[in-house]
């Protein structure tokens, strides 16, 4: 398994830290959690550095979207791993009314980024344990959604490099199909109580996306 997977694990376990890696495609990881004031101080020294990374992974509460600076992310491929939770984020009318997906809302704050929804539907311990080499019969698939074909290609290449294949779930407007509580969110990879998880192939992920309803 590629060493990036435990690094992603730590990026999620310790939100508010930036982690950088010497990969063929460098990736900047950024996580932000309340209290936002502390997170802003941590972030301040790093957003300008985002300019040197072709891919930026953003893991923040949806309520923190307004805190994200747009300029450093302009023209960048940005992986949105975020999930909306009213109990944490407060109620956001555009999301409660389903007039926008959370990714479309994020894009309002970073309008010049090339946004791709990914990684939001899998438990971090399953992400760590289910990685497989390319061609493995039990390789798992992750859904991605986005409006930029080049950004999707870059994210697909990155995901492949850490041991997963990809199902294209469509544009950002369809990213609700992989949102919290949908059939593809968590369930295909097994229960949280099973930290090793279970492989989820392409057919399982496509079927789960297809059966999602609003």
Hey, where are the domains in the chain?
4-210
pLDDT of residue 51: 63
Phi first, then psi: what are they for 165, rounded to 5°? -105, 175
Give the mean model confidence (pLDDT) for residues 14-42: 45
- Does 148 score more than 80 pLDDT? yes
- Does 19 score more than 60 pLDDT? no
Q: What percent of the chain has pLDDT over 70?
A: 76
Q: Which of 20-24, 117-121, 128-132, 152-156 has the lowest mean pLDDT?
A: 20-24
Answer for the pair 190, 197: CB distance below 8 angstroms, yes or no: yes
pLDDT of residue 162: 83
Comparing CA positions, the residue from 109, 119, 56, 38 lying closest to residue 82 is 119
Structure tokens at 165: 């294949």
Of the options 3.40.50.300, 3.40.50.720, 3.30.565.10, 2.60.34.30, the CATH number for the domain spanning 4-210 = 3.40.50.720
Please tell me whether residue 28 adopts helix, strand or coil conformation.
strand
Query: Token match 């294209």: residue?
Result: 168
Q: What is the pTM of this model?
A: 0.84
Give the pLDDT confidence of 123-145 residue by residue, as tens digits. 988 998 999 999 999 999 999 99
Give the mean model confidence (pLDDT) for residues 64-90: 90
Give the pLDDT confidence of 158-214 residue by residue, as tens digits. 888 888 999 999 999 999 999 999 999 999 999 999 999 999 999 999 999 999 999
pLDDT of residue 100: 98
Report the distance separating Cα 33 and Cα 126, nearest Å: 22
Most confident stretch, 42-51, 78-87, 101-110, 117-126: 101-110
Phi first, then psi: what are they for 179, rounded to 5°? -80, 170
Please tell me whether residue 164 adopts helix, strand or coil conformation.
coil
- Does 33 score more than 60 pLDDT? no
pLDDT of residue 29: 59
- Does 49 score more than 80 pLDDT? no
pLDDT of residue 39: 45
- Helix or strand run (H / E) with residue 209: helix 202-210
pLDDT of residue 15: 39
């Amino acid at each position: 398994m590629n060493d990036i997977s435990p690094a992603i694990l730590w990026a999620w376990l310790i939100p508010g830290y930036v982690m950088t890696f010497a990969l063929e495609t460098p990736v900047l990881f950024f996580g932000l959690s309340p209290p936002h004031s502390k997170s802003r101080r941590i972030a301040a020294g790093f957003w300008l550095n985002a300019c040197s990374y072709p891919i930026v992974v953003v893991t923040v509460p949806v309520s923190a979207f307004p805190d994200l600076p747009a300029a450093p992310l302009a023209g960048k491929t940005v992986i949105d791993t975020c999930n909306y939770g009213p109990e944490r984020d407060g109620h956001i009318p555009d999301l409660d009314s389903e007039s926008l997906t959370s990714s479309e809302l994020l894009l309002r704050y970073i309008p010049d980024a090339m946004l791709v929804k990914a990684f939001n539907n899998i438990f971090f311990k399953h992400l760590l344990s289910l990685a497989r080499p390319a061609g493995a019969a039990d390789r798992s698939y992750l859904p991605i959604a986005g409006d930029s074909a080049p950004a999707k290609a870059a994210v697909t290449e990155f995901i492949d490099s850490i041991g997963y294949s990809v199902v294209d779930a469509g544009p950002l407007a369809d990213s609700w199909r992989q949102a919290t509580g949908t059939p593809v969110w968590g369930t295909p990879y097994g229960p949280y109580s099973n930290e090793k998880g279970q492989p989820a192939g392409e057919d399982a992920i496509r079927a789960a996306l297809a059966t999602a309803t609003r």
